[in-house]
Amino acid sequence: MSSVRPGVVGATRRCPHCRETILESAAVCPACKHYLRYEPGAGAAESTQESAQTPLRIDGSIRHPPDGEPWEYTVVVTIRNDRGEEIARKLVGVGALASGEQCTFSLAVEAVEARTRRPGKGGR
Ligand SMILES: [Zn+2]
């Protein structure tokens, strides 16, 4: 299922609700927003999200000119590593814009400090 073993930083799993590949550490699926597990000791769900940062966020809109043929659009997101190699490429969505219509696109990269778990000590 995943090349990264559970418990390792960057480990992934499939969301049981929407089947997207997400971080194993996620308490809430970022794709469908379903809760994935109960956080023991966390009074509010927000407490796990407080440490999340958004080091990159891009918002932009396009508006079709008032005249002319409708547009069809394709949204593709790619991720490249330090060496410029493409490690992920995803078609996010497609759609159409009619005359005068506007669409807004938002891209957010969320980052959290990974809590590394050392096996054999301090387990619950
Ligand atoms: Zn999901």
Spacing, Cα 69 to ligand 1 middle (Å): 36
Mean pLDDT for the chain?
83
Ligand 1 centroid to 27 CA: how many Å?
11
- Above 90 in pLDDT, residue 17? yes
pLDDT in the model for residue 89: 95
pLDDT tens-digit map of 23-45: 998 889 989 999 987 766 544 44
Rounded to the nearest whole angstrom, what is the distance from the C-alpha of residue 33 to the centroid of ligand 1? 6
Q: What is the mean pLDDT of residues 60-69?
A: 92
> What separation in Å is there between the alpha carbon of 60 and the centre of ligand 1?
25
Q: What Rg, from alpha-carbon coordinates, does the chain have?
A: 19
Tens of pLDDT, residues 107-123:
999 998 887 666 655 44
Contacts of 71 (CB under 8 A, 6+ apart): 64, 96, 97
Token pair in block for residue 118: 């050392």
Distance 45 CA to ligand 1 centre (A): 17
The structure's pTM equals: 0.65
